[in-house]
Each structure stands twice: as structure tokens, then as C-alpha cells.
Amino acid sequence: MSSAEQPDIEEQPGQWPTVPPLARNTLDRAAHHRRDPEWLEQAWKTGLVLVVDTAATGRAPVRDRADGSAELVLLESAVAPEGERLFLGVDPDGTPLFTVDAPLPEIEGARGRTLRDVGHRLDDRDAGLFSAAAALVNWHVSHLFSPLTGEPTEVIEAGWSRVTADGKQMWPRTDPAMIVLVHDGVPGPQGRCLLGRNAAWRMPDGSLRFSTLAGFVEPGESVEAAVLREVKEEVGITVRDLRYEGSQAWPYPGSLMLGFSARADSDEPIRVDPEEIAEARWFTRDDIAAMRGDRYRDPETGAPARLPMNASIALYLIERWLQSP
């Protein structure tokens, strides 16, 4: 389990999507416009802007709706804060969409929220838009200078590349990471899945946060090989029957989480890597359902045990398994 999946305290239940929460998208990225400065200039005048403040952990202005969902607050370009204009694409209705990395302005009825906080409560358009914007602004912040020469870089191609004075270009990169729900293959309420608690997680309320196992794909490695390696390294278990379940962006700062399920023998001894995992254990479907309803207590300490945040693909994988026969 890596920093690609971190716990979050503030979360609200919502209707569970049929795809990972941050895999939803309606944005036409319209890449053919990125090298057309005249089109971009006109598009800016009629477009809408999502402000993302990387200095405030990637917050954007969000307004809560009466039905429990949430929506991004987009600004007309004339009142948007100053900053590099990063072109995200075109809305289904033809509206050009941009993002700017800047302090959030005061907007009545809105407050700054992160994608972790509200990703699951946004509609398909806003979930895809916020995911793209967060990933793009995070990349720009970390590439103000060339990693090869230390030279300053500047934005080109409407935000989809940076270049040094001598013409060396860089493009946004995404780091692939695997995440897997390990289960015993047993049907019904007594079927079990293996969840771990990251050694770095400290919950202010004393609860115990359990999640699926995750880690980054290493150079020269397939995603499937990474699943086998990470599970073996973190909990000492051998898995088989890998099944791809879906993926979603996790722009913290720029990961793509590739989700799997896999089977394992629940009698095989668990041997955790203490630098990564504080604890790992098997939970029945009844246990997981109780955790989902905030009714589960640790048998030894009595502390509440909780599942990952609603915006994560980790919870999506757990839910898929929980709802399976």
C-alpha cells in the first residue's frame, strides 16, 4: 500500500457508481486546438475556468446541492484569477474549458474542496474535469525547471507541454500503480477479503482504516507482475486468478490506479512488511457490510474500523466484491 492511496477523514456517502468514481468523464479534450493560438484566444473569451489552488492541496470551488451531490463552480474568463491558461477541452455543449492554478476567489455559497473530498459526489462532467485539472496543474508545479539541466521552462501547447529556451520539450506523465482486492473465492456472507492498514496512517479519531493493497509499477515490469510482487512483499501472500476490474486517475500528484481482483489461500500465513503495513487481516462479507454501515468494532481494541474514502478505486473494488455472489 503506497502513498497513491491515502486515507481521508471527511467523506459523505453517495450513490455508488457503476465505474470507479474518478473514471467518469464527458470532456472532449480537443487536442487539435492546443497548437492553434488564434482559436485558443477566442475560446478563452467565451470559455469557463476552473480555479485549482495547488498551494491549498489542490482545492477548487465547490457548491453543495440539496440532494447531497456537489458541483464545481466555474468562472467566466473575464473574472478568473491571473495565471497560466491551461486548456482542458470542450464541454458537450461546445463551451471551452480551462483551468488556472491560483488562490481561490471568494464565491458565495462555495468553498474550496479537494477531489478526494467530493469526487464521488460530482456528476460525470465535473468528476472528469476536476481529475484532469488537478493532474495537469500538479505536473506544471513540479516541472517549472528542466530535470536535466535546471533551466527554467515555459508553457506551450495550451498547457500540455513545457519547453526550455533551447527547445527541449517535456510532456505530462502519468505514473501507473496497481491496486488489488485479494479474496478467498468463497461465495456468500462468509467469503473473505484481505485488507491492510498502512503503517503511515494515523486517524485523528482513533479509528482503524483498512484498504486494499496497492503500489507503483516498477520500470520494466508489467502491471500483472506488479500485483504479484506487491502482495508478496507487503503481506507475504501468493495470489492467482488475476482479474482486471477498471482504472481511474488519482492525481496526487499524477497516478493512474489500475484495479484488479485476485484469489489467495486464506490459510497461507500473513507476513507483513512493517515499514509498509501495520496490520493485515481477512474480513468476511458480513464484516465489510458492518464496516460500510459504521457498525464494525475491532475485536481486540473496540476501535471503529473503516473502509477507504468514497472517491477511491479501493472502495469501488471492495464494493464490487461485497455485491458479488
Note the pLDDT tens digit of each residue in 233-248.
999 999 999 999 999 9
Q: What is the pLDDT of residues 179-227, one digit of tens each?
A: 999 999 999 999 999 999 998 887 778 789 999 999 999 999 999 999 9
pLDDT tens sequence across 69-102:
999 999 999 999 999 999 999 999 999 999 999 9
Picking from 28, 100, 92, 8, the residue whose alpha carbon sits closest to that of residue 61 is 100
pLDDT digits (tens, 9 = 90+) for 123-135: 999 999 999 999 9
Q: Percent of the chain having pLDDT more than 90?
A: 87
Q: What is the pTM assigned to this prediction?
A: 0.90
The per-residue DSSP string of 28-81 comes to B--GGGTT-HHHHHHHHHH-EEEEEBGGGTTBEEEEE-TTS-EEE--EEGGGSP
With 50 as the cut, is the pLDDT of residue 172 above it? yes
State the chain's mean pLDDT as an integer: 92
CB-CB contact of 126 with 72 (8 Å): yes
* b/e code 169-182 from CB counts within 10 Å (16+ = b): eeeeeeebbbbbbb
Give the confidence band of 300 by pLDDT, cuts at 50, 70, 90: confident
* Euclidean distance between the first and the last CA atom of the chain, given in angstroms as a whole number: 27
Q: Taking a C-beta distance cutoff of 8 angstroms, is the pair 112, 134 a contact?
A: no
Q: Which residue has the cell 503511515?
A: 200
- What domains are there in the chain, each with its CATH number? 21-170 (3.90.79.20), 175-323 (3.90.79.10)
